[in-house]
Amino acid sequence: KSTFIEAFGKMLLGLGKKVAVLAVDPSSQLSKGSILGDKTRMELLAADKRAFIRPSPSGHTLGGVSARTREAMLLCEAAGFDVILVETVGVGQSETAVKNMVDFFLLLMLAGAGDELQGIKKGIMEMADALVIHKADGNNLDLAKKAKANYQNALHLFPQSEKNWYPKVLLASSLTGMGLEKVWDLILDYEQKMKDSTFWEANRASQRVNWLDDQIQDLLGQAFLRNEKVKSVLELEKTKVRSGELHPGVLAQRLIGLFLS
């Protein structure tokens, strides 16, 4: 992903755009640390003053998107960046979180990395606004073309979305630059069509409500875990949950009762 983002970002800089990249880095579930290596993998883009790259650990955040990614996006918009790219930790629950905060959802795939159609969940394909078969160059080009045809056939079997847009499948190569401008042209075409149909603003309004819901859940969770009565009982009773002596649901209900009392 970082290779594509750097090449795509450099292409956008060449078009006179200011580019921000918010790269959400996977955090270890054991150490809670993260490598934060995206900036080092995008050295050329990071060296350009018109580009901004902010790696941030995803930690325990549901969906693999940093809790402050939305705030960072707003700051980047206010700072005058024309394009904001959010790189996530990958598939899983992260696609739902990303879909609720971006205007365009791009799915990157590699040809020849196994059975393409079996190796991807139907859900994420339905969420994607476009698929890009990356590294479509050299000996991999024929495989990429085959993968493109397979994905196009599969996507036509999905019901058309509420926004009246069928996801497109494109080929691209960061090595040769092939297809990068076509990806940008497709994004611009999507933006214009969505604005003409009023879906663009309706989608952003829905995202703001989702943001509110997420904030409420996050703040409630923090307040719950800071509660002294909850903390004392939780520490005492966790061992019973581990041993199977106490059902997790029973303890959860008890803790909620303590929190609300």
At 31, is the pLDDT very low, low, confident or very high (cuts 50, 70, 90)? Answer: very low
Identify whether the C-beta of residue 121 lies closer than 8 Å to the C-beta of residue 198. no
Residue ranges of domains in the chain, CATH in brackets: 2-199 (3.40.50.300), 209-260 (no CATH)
Q: Residue 30 has what pLDDT?
A: 43
DSSP 3-state of 116: coil
Indicate the SS3 state at residue 55.
strand
Q: What angle do CA 99, 202, 81 make, to 5 degrees?
A: 65
pLDDT at 164 over 90: no
Q: Are 2 and 42 in contact (CB under 8 A)?
A: yes
Name the percent of the chain lying above pLDDT 70: 82
Among the listed ranges 43-52, 58-67, 209-218, 247-256, which one has the minimum average pLDDT value?
58-67
* Gap between the Cα atoms of 107 and 121, Å rounded: 12
Give tens-digit pLDDT for 95-133.
677 788 999 999 998 876 545 555 556 677 888 899 999
Select the more confidently predicted residue: 94 or 81.
Answer: 81
Query: Per-residue pLDDT for 33 more than 50?
Result: no
Could you report the per-residue pLDDT of 137-162, keeping only the tens digit for each?
999 999 999 999 988 888 888 877 77
Give the dihedral sign, CA 178/148/107/128.
Answer: positive
- Binned at pLDDT 50, 70 and 90, residue 203 comes out as very high
